[in-house]
Amino acid sequence: MKAEKEPVVRALKTARGQLDGIMRMVQEDRYCVDISNQLLATEALLRKTNKTVLRAHLEHCVAESLETGTDVQVKMNEIMALLDKIAR
């Protein structure tokens, strides 16, 4: 992975902590809207982290592929598949 690992790992640990908290909220029969708000916050953090990882991929792996002419179509197909998933 070409992204700076520390911020990515920190964000993922935060998301894991948020998910643990959400599971406790569900087990404690907390208010649905409060649970939903926490779910939305976790989703937002994961989306932001994914953008960081994808940006690094584009800036390093895909750029290198374009510069060297190696596996260009493979990299483009990977990006298109990810964009299809994101657009759902």
**pTM here?**
0.87
Tell me yes or no: is domain 5-86 CATH 1.20.58.1000. Answer: yes
Cα–Cα distance for residue pair 6/3, rounded to 1 Å? 9
Q: List the domain boundaries for the chain.
A: 5-86
Longest pairwise C-alpha distance within the chain: 56
| pLDDT tens for the 88 residues of the chain, in order | 777 999 999 999 999 999 999 999 999 999 999 999 999 999 999 999 999 999 999 999 999 999 999 999 999 999 999 999 999 9
Which of 69, 61, 88 is CA-nearest to residue 79?
A: 61
Do residues 22 and 52 lie in contact, with contact meaning Cβ atoms separated by under 8 Å?
Answer: no
How close are the terminal C-alpha atoms of the chain, in Å?
25
